[in-house]
Amino acid sequence: GAGVSQSPRYKVAKRGQDVALRCDPISGHVSLFWYQQALGQGPEFLTYFQNEAQLDKSGLPSDRFFAERPEGSVSTLKIQRTQQEDSAVYLCASSLARTTSGRVKFFGPGTRLTVL
């Protein structure tokens, strides 16, 4: 596809359920980022992959959050035992590389997660 795609676009979960959010980055993009955007706030960094390697997971709020990118393309963000405070839009972004040109990040439309 032409841009970053994410699925599902909307997810409603009952508290305690596990969810999995998918990101398809732009083909050939080495770097992949996950961000969490609470209502009315700016996106906050969660984790970063370079190809299949997760190089930075400093933003993951708890050990209930887990991300993977096993083949260096598609990534999945998994949230176990969801809590109401996990309700947010989860954004995925990709960029070409670590170099200066890689600073241009392309964001997907996000997955809006609502935990009841």
Partner 1 sequence: QQQVKQSPQSLIVQKGGISIINCAYENTAFDYFPWYQQFPGKGPALLIAIRPDVSEKKEGRFTISFNKSAKQFSLHIMDSQPGDSATYFCAAPLTSILTGGGNKLTFGTGTQLKVEL
Query: Between residues 84 and 101, which has the closer beta carbon with respect to partner 1?
Result: 101
> HEC profile for 34-56?
EEEECCCCCCEEEEEEECCEEEE
Sorted by sequence, the CB contacts under 8 Å of residue 91 that are 6+ apart come out as: 6, 34, 35, 36, 37, 43, 107, 108, 110
- In whole angstroms, the minimum distance from the beta carbon of 108 to partner 1 comes to 5
Query: Between residues 58 and 84, which has the closer beta carbon with respect to partner 1?
Result: 58
Can residue 75 be called a binding residue for partner 1 (CB under 8 A)? no
* Residue 70: cis peptide before it, omega within 30 degrees of 0: no
Can residue 45 be called a binding residue for partner 1 (CB under 8 A)? yes
Binds partner 1 by CB under 8 A, chosen from 1, 2, 14, 40: 40
Can residue 108 be called a binding residue for partner 1 (CB under 8 A)? yes
Neighbours of 49 (CB within 10 A): 23
List of residues contacting partner 1 (CB under 8 A): 4, 31, 33, 35, 40-45, 48, 50, 53, 55-56, 58-59, 91, 93, 95, 98, 100, 102-110
